């Protein structure tokens, strides 16, 4: 794993955006895996800026989102489809038909999950997957104890995640769906590159356990220790519980230019 510690979330997001932009320039028909939540917002804003000011071209890019709430229609204010449309897809030149978010209203959820996996395969697999992390270490909505072999499926959220996400539903926990569809950990591990972003003190324990703790299903993100190309972008506060911060900075600062955004 490569650990990139920046002074704040904005600087970390700009560094992550450079990795995404380099991939899209080198492979214009890249397949991106995308995440929701508050964490990737600065990354998406930077990608929009790169599109508008530097001509970063998304016209051939395909995307697959990690997850969606079960029961929310795409136009619902808190659906992840709407989040993506508003925060990334509409301001860039991506073709909407090339964007994929799991269908929270699917009548046959297992069939819809299998079709999602198949669509990823048919697109050539995910080149780069963007990840946030829950304070309990979840990735996508793969809550603690999710199988490392899991594929796209329905999951039940933990009470902690329901409570945490209630802030997006006017603080009303009863409005937060209890079920979601999420890519599995196996699906995420199939991506050729994974980039995780984590900002703020409430992520510090999960970040430390993910990077320096044992690989265990109780801390789903720790599986990234087994990924051949995983980068973790953190701000100072999210890095505060790591033991080897001096080493991570030493490695990053010593990188040759050609390797920096690869
Ligand atoms: C949500 C999403 C995750 C996200 C996480 C953290 O539950 N399903 O993909 O990484 O919570 O959210 P935030 O970035 O708002 O802290």
* 252 CA distance to ligand 1 middle (Å): 26
- Which percentage of the chain shows pLDDT scores above 70? 100
Q: Is residue 261 over pLDDT 90?
A: no
* Residue whose CB lies within 8 A of the most ligand 1 atoms, among 33, 39, 144, for a mutation test: 39
Helix, coil or strand: residue 130 = strand
The pLDDT of residue 204 is above 90: yes
| pLDDT of amino acid 3 | 98
- Stated as kind and residue range, the H or E segment containing 12 is helix 9-26
Decide if pLDDT at 164 tops 90.
no
Taking the CA atoms of residue 23, residue 26, residue 27 and residue 32 in that order, the dihedral angle to the nearest 10 degrees is 10
With a 6 Å cutoff on the Cβ, whether 132 touches ligand 1 is: yes
- The per-residue pLDDT of the chain, averaged, comes to 97
- The burial class, CB within 10 Å (0-12 / 13-18 / 19+), for 249 is middle
Residues pairing with 197 in the sheet = 233
Residue of 212, 232, 209, 234 whose CA lies nearest to 220: 209
pLDDT grade for 257, boundaries at 50, 70 and 90:
confident
Q: What is the pLDDT of residues 27-82, one digit of tens each?
A: 999 999 999 999 999 999 999 999 999 999 999 999 999 999 999 999 999 999 99
175 and 166 Cβ atoms separated by less than 8 Å: yes
For residue range 222-244, what is the model confidence (pLDDT) as tens digits? 999 999 999 999 999 999 999 99
The protein residue with its alpha carbon nearest to ligand 1, atom 9, reads 140
Q: How many helices (H) and strands (E) does the chain have?
A: 9, 10
Atom of ligand 1 nearest to the CA of 36: 9
Confidence of residue 159 (pLDDT cuts 50, 70, 90): very high
What's this model's pTM, rounded to 2 decimal places? 0.97
Token pair 């920046």 is at which residue? 6
Retrieve residue 35's tokens.
């995440």
- How confident is the model over 97-110, as pLDDT tens digits? 999 999 999 999 99
How close is the Cα of 5 to the center of ligand 1, in Å?
20
**In ligand 1, which atom is closest to the CA atom of 67?**
8
Query: Quick one: which atom of ligand 1 is closest to the CA of 203?
Result: 16
- Per-residue pLDDT, 119: 98
> Is 1:196 a contact under the CB 8 Å cutoff?
no
Question: For residue 258, is pLDDT > 90?
Answer: no
Q: Which segments of the chain does DSSP mark as H helices, in order? A: 9-26, 41-54, 80-84, 109-122, 159-165, 185-190, 204-212, 245-253, 257-260
What average pLDDT score do residues 120-124 get? 98
The catalytic residues are 67, 136, 138, 143
Q: What does each C-alpha distance from 29 to 87, 183, 254, 262 come to in angstroms?
A: 21, 21, 31, 17
- Residue identified by tokens 């959820």 is 109
37 lines ligand 1 (CB under 6 A): yes
Quote the ligand 1 centre to 167 CA distance (angstroms): 12
> Would you say the CB of residue 104 lies under 6 angstroms from ligand 1?
no
Q: Is residue 220 within 6 Å of ligand 1 at its C-beta?
A: no
Q: For ligand 1, is residue 137 a contact (CB within 6 Å)? A: no
What is the spatial distance between Cα 38 and Cα 216, in angstroms, rounded to a whole number? 26
Indicate the SS3 state at residue 205: helix
Per residue in 79-95, pLDDT (tens digit) is 999 999 999 999 999 99
Q: What is the pLDDT of residue 262?
A: 86
Give the pLDDT confidence of 210-225 residue by residue, as tens digits: 999 999 999 999 999 9
């Amino acid at each position: 794993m490569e650990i990139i510690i920046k002074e704040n979330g904005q600087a970390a997001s700009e560094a992550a955006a450079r990795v995404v932009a380099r991939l899209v320039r080198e492979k214009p028909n890249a397949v991106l895996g995308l995440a929701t939540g508050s964490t990737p917002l600065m990354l998406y804003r930077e990608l929009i800026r790169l599109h508008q000011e530097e001509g970063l071209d998304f016209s051939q890019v395909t995307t697959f989102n990690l997850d969606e709430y079960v029961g929310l229609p795409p136009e619902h204010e808190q659906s992840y489809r709407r989040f993506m449309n508003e925060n990334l897809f509409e301001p860039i030149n991506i073709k909407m038909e090339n964007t994929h978010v799991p269908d929270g209203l699917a009548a046959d959820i297992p069939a819809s999950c299998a079709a999602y996996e198949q669509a990823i395969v048919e697109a050539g697999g995910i080149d780069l997957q963007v990840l946030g992390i829950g304070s309990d270490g979840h990735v996508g909505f793969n809550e603690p104890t999710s199988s490392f072999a899991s594929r796209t499926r329905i999951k039940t959220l933990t009470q902690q995640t329901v409570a945490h996400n209630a802030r997006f539903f006017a603080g009303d926990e009863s409005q937060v769906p209890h079920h979601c569809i999420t890519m599995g950990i196996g699906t995420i591990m199939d991506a050729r590159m994974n980039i995780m972003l984590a900002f703020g003190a409430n992520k510090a324990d999960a970040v430390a356990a993910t990077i320096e703790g044992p690989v265990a299903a109780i801390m789903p993100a720790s599986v990234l220790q087994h990924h051949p190309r995983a980068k973790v972008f953190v701000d100072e506060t999210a890095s505060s519980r790591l033991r080897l911060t001096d080493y991570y900075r030493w490695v990053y600062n010593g990188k040759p230019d050609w390797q920096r955004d690869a």
